[in-house]
């Protein structure tokens, strides 16, 4: 849940989730729609799909236990180097470091070297003896992440409170390295076409050409080009929506219709048992103003 998402956003979802699914076995028995419904509003739904696939694999193949080796853990869907190292450190107290943006920044600043020039794996292997000096490896993995988030922060690091300030090269240097800037925001323009009917329903399909919205229930979405729009579609409004580093500029169109194309299904604008992503829910809110 914490991948790409802030702790304060995750907490209510995490609490609700762990209250409902207390064991791997109970989670492994649900279907994709159920896990997506629990995840509704948290975004990045691939994480939910991967979590379910991993859970089923752990229950069926590994007797509900996390494997002990990085190689095996990385076979779980959605688990890459970072998550595998975090798991093996947290759970099995192995001497390892989960290298996320925070940890990279700490090392980069401490050495006053540009992040992209550092081979982090090599750096950790060479300095293993100095890094893992206690048996509290699981605390160390977490402490390093927290240190990057709270002390050696992206902006205004708290150097006066830092336990490394006597040896930190960044602090001492008159030629400080540039710290990685945030990803650039990209603006994209879309036309969204909604079939609606008098029963306050909207037509949605999973067939979508937009890469980051693949396999979700959505109306027809097309990139905004200069082509003329069929006059059957009526303009409803323009609004903005941001997803990750994308700012979407959306022109919303609607058409009252009793029929929808074959690949579409009708969904109620008010209540649905099926999972509806937040992106689509925002469209629901705009379209609801028609009634
Ligand atoms: S002294 Fe400052 S820049 Fe260096 S590691 Fe500590 S917080 Fe980061």
Q: Evaluate: CB of 105 within 6 angstroms of ligand 1.
A: no
> Of 139, 142, 177, which is closest to residue 157 (Cα–Cα)?
177
* Structural domains of the chain, count: 1
Q: Evaluate: CB of 149 within 6 angstroms of ligand 1.
A: no
- Looking at residue 278, its pLDDT comes to 84
Expressed in angstroms and rounded, the spacing between residue 96 Cα and the centre of ligand 1 is: 22
3-state secondary structure of 177: coil
- Residue to substitute in 102, 151, 163, 172 for testing ligand 1 pocket (most ligand atoms within 8 angstroms of CB): 151
Per-residue CA distances from 209 to 175, 212, 279 (Å): 47, 9, 15
- CA triple 270-273-277, angle to 5 deg: 75
pTM equals: 0.74
Using pLDDT thresholds of 50, 70 and 90, give the confidence band for residue 262: very high
Residue 193 covered by a domain: yes
Q: Whose CA is nearest to atom 5 of ligand 1?
A: 110
Expressed in angstroms and rounded, the spacing between residue 152 Cα and the centre of ligand 1 is: 5
Expressed in angstroms and rounded, the spacing between residue 80 Cα and the centre of ligand 1 is: 28
- Looking at residue 182, its pLDDT comes to 67
pLDDT tens, residue by residue, 95-140: 999 998 889 999 999 999 999 999 999 999 999 999 999 999 999 9
Expressed in angstroms and rounded, the spacing between residue 135 Cα and the centre of ligand 1 is: 25
Expressed in angstroms and rounded, the spacing between residue 106 Cα and the centre of ligand 1 is: 7
DSSP run (H or E) holding 286: helix 278-288
Residue 32 covered by a domain: no
Atom of ligand 1 nearest to the CA of 169: 4
Q: Evaluate: CB of 164 within 6 angstroms of ligand 1.
A: yes
Expressed in angstroms and rounded, the spacing between residue 158 Cα and the centre of ligand 1 is: 7
Residue 203 covered by a domain: yes
pLDDT tens, residue by residue, 201-247: 999 998 877 777 777 889 999 888 867 788 899 999 999 988 877 89
- Looking at residue 13, its pLDDT comes to 95
Residue 119 covered by a domain: no
Roughly how many angstroms between the first and final C-alpha of the chain, as a whole number?
Answer: 36
Atom of ligand 1 nearest to the CA of 165: 1
Q: Evaluate: CB of 170 within 6 angstroms of ligand 1.
A: yes
Unique residue bearing structure tokens 């399909």: 205
66: how many CB neighbours lie within 10 A of its CB?
18
Contacts of 26 (CB under 8 A, 6+ apart): none
Residue 99 covered by a domain: no
User: What is the Cβ-side half-sphere exposure of residue 196, based on CA atoms within 13 angstroms?
Assistant: 25
- Residue 219 maps to which CATH number? 3.90.79.10
Average pLDDT, rounded, for the chain:
91
Residue 271 covered by a domain: yes
Percent of the chain with pLDDT over 90: 72
Residue span of the structural domain in which 226 resides:
186-288
Percent of the chain with pLDDT over 70: 99
Residue 270 and residue 255: Cα distance in Å, rounded? 18
- List, in sequence order, the alpha helices (H) in 93-250: 101-111, 120-126, 128-131, 137-150, 169-172
Residue 287 and residue 281: Cα distance in Å, rounded? 10
Residue 277 covered by a domain: yes
The CB-based long-range contact list for 77-86 (8 Å cut-off, 24+ gap) reads 77/49, 77/50, 77/53, 78/46, 78/47, 78/49, 78/50, 78/51, 78/53, 78/54, 79/50, 79/54, 83/3, 85/141, 86/141
Strand 234-243 to 201-205 pairing: unpaired
- Looking at residue 18, its pLDDT comes to 95
pLDDT tens, residue by residue, 128-179: 999 999 999 999 999 998 999 899 999 999 999 999 999 999 999 999 988 7
Residue 37 covered by a domain: no
């Amino acid at each position: 849940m914490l991948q790409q998402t802030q702790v304060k956003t995750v907490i209510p979802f995490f609490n609700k989730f762990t209250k409902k699914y207390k064991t791997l076995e109970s989670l492994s028995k649900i279907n994709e729609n159920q896990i997506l419904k629990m995840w509704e509003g948290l975004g990045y739904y691939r994480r939910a799909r991967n979590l379910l696939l991993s859970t089923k694999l752990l229950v069926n193949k590994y007797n509900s236990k996390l494997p002990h080796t990085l190689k095996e853990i990385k076979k779980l869907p959605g688990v890459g180097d970072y998550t595998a190292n975090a798991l093996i450190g947290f759970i099995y107290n192995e001497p390892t470091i989960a290298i996320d943006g925070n940890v990279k920044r700490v090392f980069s600043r401490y050495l006053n070297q540009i992040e992209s020039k550092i081979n982090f794996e090599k750096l950790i292997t060479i300095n293993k003896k100095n890094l893992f000096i206690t048996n509290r490896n699981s605390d160390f993995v977490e402490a390093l992440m927290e240190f990057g988030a709270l002390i050696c922060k992206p902006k205004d690091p708290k150097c006066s409170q830092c336990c490394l300030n006597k040896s930190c090269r960044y602090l001492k240097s008159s030629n400080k390295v540039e710290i990685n800037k945030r990803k650039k925001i990209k603006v994209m323009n879309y036309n969204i076409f909604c079939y609606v009917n008098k029963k306050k329903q909207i037509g949605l399909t999973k067939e979508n050409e937009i890469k980051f919205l693949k396999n979700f229930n959505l109306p027809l979405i097309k990139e905004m080009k200069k082509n003329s729009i069929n006059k059957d579609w009526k303009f409803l409004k323009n609004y903005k929506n941001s997803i990750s580093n994308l700012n979407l500029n959306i022109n919303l169109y609607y058409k009252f219709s009793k029929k929808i194309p074959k690949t579409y299904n009708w969904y109620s604008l008010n209540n649905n048992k099926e999972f509806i992503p937040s992106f689509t829910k925002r469209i629901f809110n705009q379209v609801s103003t028609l009634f």
